[in-house]
Amino acid sequence: MLKNTSKGHVDCLPLQLALTELEMLAEKLNEQKRVADQIAETQQLARSASDRSLSKQLNSDQGSLVLCETLIETVYGERGQVLKSKERKVFLFNDILICANINVKGPLDNSSLVPVGPKYTMKWSAPLLQVQVVEVGQEASQAKETLFQHGGAKHPGSACPPGKVILGPPRLYQELQDLQHDLSVVEEVTLLVGTLQGTYQVHPTPLLTI
């Protein structure tokens, strides 16, 4: 209706106000849904905790869920080959980091045909005294920091200074790719050296120090 209403029409302003209210309502509903989903995920995680103290900690009002993501855990062999990979659910609270296995199989409920039982199986947890979340944009000046002190306090931090290198998953992944590439090159060189027919004496080359 707003698109088909001219700017000078008497109904243009009320329609714009109504659209703004609808957008604000949608944002509020999305935020409430996000909070409700976080509470449900935390409750599911607390049910899978075998440690009573940890389960009590998750059900208390002291902890707050900062981030929850599904990641791929990859196990590499000595030569860099992938041995296995599996989905894991990682929960970052303001006071603890938890890694859990996602239970996709289990006994089915005949009424809903949905697996019943715990949704997660906790693999490990690590207590945290302080959590610092850094949101990095394309420009260094766009970086934002949020500091979570133990106990749930949330404080905005300073922006990431220009030129500061943040070692995150993309950087670690690239380093792993480089190591695997160099390992394959070394293996090829070793095989080629083994095919030499003559005997040679190799003199060590001194390292160049700059």
pLDDT computed for residue 173 by the predictor: 67
The answer to which of 49-58, 112-121, 185-194 has the lowest mean pLDDT is 112-121
> Where does the pLDDT of residue 100 fall: very low under 50, low under 70, confident under 90, or very high at 90 and above?
confident
| Alpha-carbon separation of residue 108 from 41, 113, 114 (angstroms) | 20, 5, 5
The answer to which of 18-27, 109-118, 183-192 has the lowest mean pLDDT is 109-118
Measured in whole angstroms, the distance separating CA 138 from the mean position of its chain's CA atoms is 18
Mean pLDDT, residues 87-93 taken together:
87
Is pLDDT larger for residue 64 or for residue 137?
64
Asked if pLDDT for residue 85 goes beyond 70, the answer is yes
Domain boundaries, the chain: 130-189
Asked if pLDDT for residue 158 goes beyond 60, the answer is no
How does pLDDT run across 55-84, given as a tens digit for each residue?
A: 787 777 777 788 888 888 888 887 778 888
Is pLDDT larger for residue 14 or for residue 208?
14
**pLDDT mean across residues, the chain:** 72
How does pLDDT run across 5-19, given as a tens digit for each residue?
A: 777 777 777 777 887
Mean pLDDT, residues 137-160 taken together:
48
The pTM assigned to this predicted structure is 0.49
pLDDT computed for residue 115 by the predictor: 47
